[in-house]
Structure 1
Amino acid sequence: MQASIHPETAEPPVEHGFTVLCVDDEVNILAALRRLLRKTGHTVLTAESGAAGLLILAQEKVDLIISDMRMPEMTGAEFLASTLDSWPDTARILLTGYADIHSTIDAINKARINRYVSKPWDDEEMLRIVDEALAIKRLEKEKAQLNMVVIRQNEELQKLNNSLESQVKVRTAELELTMLELNEVHEKLKKGFITSIRVFANLMEMRADKLAGHARVIADLARQIARQLKLPEAEVQDTFIAGLLHSIGKIGLPDSLLAKPYVEMNLQERNVYGTYPSKGHAALMALEQLQNASQIIRSQHERYDGLGFPDKLGAAEIPLGARILSLCRDFEALQAGFLTGKPMPRHEAISNIESGSGKRYDPKIVEAFCSVVAKPENTPDIKELRIKSKDLKPLMILARDLIASGVMLLAKDHVLDERLVNHIRAFELADSSSLDIYIQVK
């Protein structure tokens, strides 16, 4: 028994190169097959017996077996049949002589050979038969290669998807953190903006002692009525700001006119006084954030029946915020005595407002006003506790505006920090006074 492996090729194997095992007991036949198959690019292995062929099959991956029929010890049919169990996918070609027809038929039945070739063979015909026998192998090899490409691409795609998912999660987390920070900054800016307006309103009212805190009360009532009407929060905010700044146009009026009740003014004084809403509108119109509030301020003296000023608007022509502000301003002025020269009790001021429904005031706003004022007085929307400055701590939240001598120092809802706590204590010490401090409690 002699086995030899001769991976002889005339040139490097091509992409679809296969391994062919030639088995024959005649050396010259093996040499002829090697020469013939050399130009195909396939790897050619040779064995001089069936037993030697089995040894090679155990060591090498073989795609095609070409075996002679007549060999000592083990015929080609027996050899090919013995390969079925271990190498069922290997293609098989049997070389036969004319006298071997019965053995060939038996090999076809038992060894499942693909083709048989009669000796002597035609080289071109042999090459064609070999190529046909390996056609399925070639397709399987291409399929395997494509599968490997698909698997590799799927793995790369999965890695890319995982990477993208990871990047998206990281980016999303970064964006969420950024949005949270922006929201916090926005809230601080919004609170700072409202606080600035409140401080400005207090500075305006310092010109008339009896009006100290007047704008703040009007603005708070206007906000309650706007919410009672279920207006969008943006409109509620505009109405509240307009309430704080409703008197901004009075800056240019003489002190003597500010101190005089409206009923005591002569016609000329009333004409001068009546210009302040337009002046307030003009003063604020350049500020984009205050566009809506400035229009509310301009129309605050319009009447529901159309007899107001400065534009003689009526009913729905009047901005809703201005209709709310008009009522709230008059209600506070009646109680302060600014309209009649004599302070009016709360219940009488309410009756006065109700009597103006449909004439001076919008009926639906009068109805909302009555619902608001019917609630118990001084009942805060949140729980509050009055404390002394020595008990203040950082992160406490003011439940009311912090007022000193009619001037607002800090606005309601302001979150205290250590610096502000120290400033409040220092202010009390320098002013020799005790501030009314209310904080929110859970």
Structure 2
Amino acid sequence: MSAETLPSILFVDDEPSILSALRRLLRPLPYRVLTAEGGVEALALLEREPVDLVVSDMRMPGMDGATFLEQVCQRWPTVQRLLLTGYADMDATIAAVNRGEIHRYVAKPWEDQDLLLALRDALSRRQLAEENRRLLALTQEQNDALQRVNGQLEQRVRERTAELEQVNGMLEKAYAQLQDNFMLSLDVFAGLLELRDRGSAGHSREVARLAQGLAQELGLPPRDQQDLFAAGLLHEIGKISLPDSLLRKPFSVMNAEEQAQFRRHPQVAEAALMPLAALQRSARLVRAQLERLDGKGVPDGLQGEGFGFAAQALALAVEYRGLLGGRLSSRPHTPEQAQALIAGGAGSRYSVTVVQAFRELMARMREVPPEDLCIDASALRAGMVLSRDLMSERGTLLLARGFHFDAQAVRKIHDYVARQGLRLRLHVQPADAETRPVALAER
């Protein structure tokens, strides 16, 4: 062990013989011994040398031990302090204890072993205190490092959370766009089906809207409402298998063989739609469009709870729009006549609850007529909302009611009118109307 690393003890006494005796006592021991003959000399030495323990006499000229040790306590508080005194002066000892905060005092003449034990004990306390300070500093440093790491981690978590929220927002937007595009595809496909039957343009969309409105009136969950809307758009897809002559013939004037052939179209539709996972629930609703609550419907004879509210909503919408369009009899029915026939089917064709929901929906639609403005296409501006379906000359859907026009959509309409040389008029309403944009068919 080098001299610099040995524990340092500073002895302060105005008698050189005392200092010499102390050097001789500690010479065999692993201590670095420093001496000073007064307080002023000792303070100067402390400013130059690292010291672990100060052992001071009490009675010294110029600066007594109490004053000297007080200075050491104030300027080097970690240095251990012992008082070595040959006077039985209790007041001086108390002053040294109070002012210099000494850890122990040893009386002169001393017993060598007692003094050595006192020195060893003081140096041990010094070492323990230093180790404690080192550990506290290390702990503080580690805590500071941990706080920095936690702060960095929290920042990374916030940044990652913000990224995930942004990604989730983009995914939700993309999913909503995908859903709109999917419904648009169904809408366009339904319009293509209706090209076979001139005069029926928009029929499937009206069935879809009525079925969805009934589902809302009945408090069915959003998933059922969406399935019903898709089922309404595609409820006639099975009619692809029917010949044109039968397609345009009202049900009431068909013969028995034709009616049997007609009644099979829901099964054909279900078979066509079932491979599409997103439409399997809608496909089952389409299959049940000709069922009845009393079990006399086709193809499965469903009855009671087996013919649920969602299926009844679609069946009722199909019948009501069929009555208005002259699809079920040789002449079209007025809304009042059609509603009366629907009401007459309560308890047999449909549950009383479903029929009551239909009555309330119709009453509300009469009470709140749509407010719109008919404008020329040239007057169309971004922010307007389409209040009625926009159909082409051939009866196909161009824009669905509730579509919100942005600048791009307005340009498309203007381009379409210019290309076709048309004078197109649209029914629009305020942009804050509570209608959901459904689809845009680019033609």
Q: Same fold (TM over 0.5)?
A: yes
Partner of residue 106, structure 2: 116
Shift of 1:86: 2.8
Query: One-letter code of the match for 1:149?
Result: L
| 1:336 paired residue among 291, 310, 325 | 325
Q: Give the Cα–Cα distance (whole angstroms) in 2 for the partners of residues 288 and 398 of structure 1.
A: 32
Partner of residue 130, structure 1: 119
Shift of 1:59: 6.0
Aligned CA distance change for structure 1 residues 41 and 346 (closer, same or farther; 3 Å): farther
Matched, 1:102 2:88: yes
Matches within 5 A, 1:173-212: 173-212=162-201
Report Cα offsets for 1:38-90 as digits up to 9, x if no partner. 7876654321233322433466665422235676x36xxx7321134333455
Partner of residue 163, structure 1: 152
Q: Give the Cα–Cα distance (whole angstroms) in 2 for the partners of residues 179 and 13 of structure 1.
A: 63
Matched, 1:301 2:290: yes
Q: Give the Cα–Cα distance (whole angstroms) in 1 for the partners of residues 374 and 27 of structure 2.
A: 105
| 2:386 paired residue among 381, 398, 401 | 398
Equivalent pair of 2:251/2:328 in contact (CA under 8 Å): yes
Matched, 1:244 2:233: yes
Q: Give the Cα–Cα distance (whole angstroms) in 2 for the partners of residues 34 and 412 of structure 1.
A: 108
What SS does the corresponding residue of 1:302 show, helix, strand or coil? coil
Partner of residue 386, structure 1: 374
Aligned length: 421
Query: One-letter code of the match for 1:80?
Result: G
Shift of 1:222: 1.1
Query: One-letter code of the match for 1:139?
Result: L
Aligned CA distance change for structure 1 residues 260 and 66 (closer, same or farther; 3 Å): same
What SS does the corresponding residue of 2:364 show, helix, strand or coil? coil
Shift of 1:401: 2.9
Partner of residue 226, structure 1: 215
What SS does the corresponding residue of 1:211 show, helix, strand or coil? coil
Deviates more, 1:252-261 or 1:176-185: 176-185
| 2:276 paired residue among 287, 294, 298 | 287
State the percentage of identical aligned residues.
38
Shift of 1:29: 5.5
Deviates more, 1:345-354 or 1:166-175: 166-175
Equivalent pair of 1:191/1:414 in contact (CA under 8 Å): no
Query: One-letter code of the match for 2:378?
Result: K
Report Cα offsets for 1:311-337 as digits up to 9, x if no partner. 111021023221101111111111212
Deviates more, 1:141-150 or 1:344-353: 141-150
Query: One-letter code of the match for 1:145?
Result: R
Q: Give the Cα–Cα distance (whole angstroms) in 2 for the partners of residues 143 and 294 of structure 1.
A: 78
Query: One-letter code of the match for 1:102?
Result: A
Shift of 1:302: 0.8
Partner of residue 368, structure 1: 357
Equivalent pair of 2:56/2:69 in contact (CA under 8 Å): no
Deviates more, 1:32-41 or 1:230-239: 32-41
Matches within 5 A, 1:142-157: 142-157=131-146
Aligned CA distance change for structure 1 residues 125 and 409 (closer, same or farther; 3 Å): same
Aligned CA distance change for structure 1 residues 109 and 427 (closer, same or farther; 3 Å): closer
Aligned CA distance change for structure 1 residues 175 and 201 (closer, same or farther; 3 Å): same
Aligned CA distance change for structure 1 residues 155 and 42 (closer, same or farther; 3 Å): farther
Shift of 1:409: 1.6
Matches within 5 A, 1:247-266: 247-266=236-255
Aligned CA distance change for structure 1 residues 50 and 379 (closer, same or farther; 3 Å): closer
Aligned CA distance change for structure 1 residues 299 and 101 (closer, same or farther; 3 Å): same
Deviates more, 1:229-238 or 1:423-432: 423-432
Ranked by relative contact order (alpha carbons within 8 Å, sequence separation 6 or more), the top structure is 2
Question: Normalising by structure 2, what TM-score?
Answer: 0.85
Question: Normalising by structure 1, what TM-score?
Answer: 0.85
In the alignment, structure 1 segments of 5+ residues that lack a partner are 1-8
Equivalent pair of 2:3/2:32 in contact (CA under 8 Å): no
RMSD: 2.9
Matched, 1:45 2:30: no
What SS does the corresponding residue of 2:386 show, helix, strand or coil? coil
Aligned CA distance change for structure 1 residues 212 and 439 (closer, same or farther; 3 Å): same
Deviates more, 1:44-53 or 1:264-273: 44-53
Equivalent pair of 1:10/1:38 in contact (CA under 8 Å): no
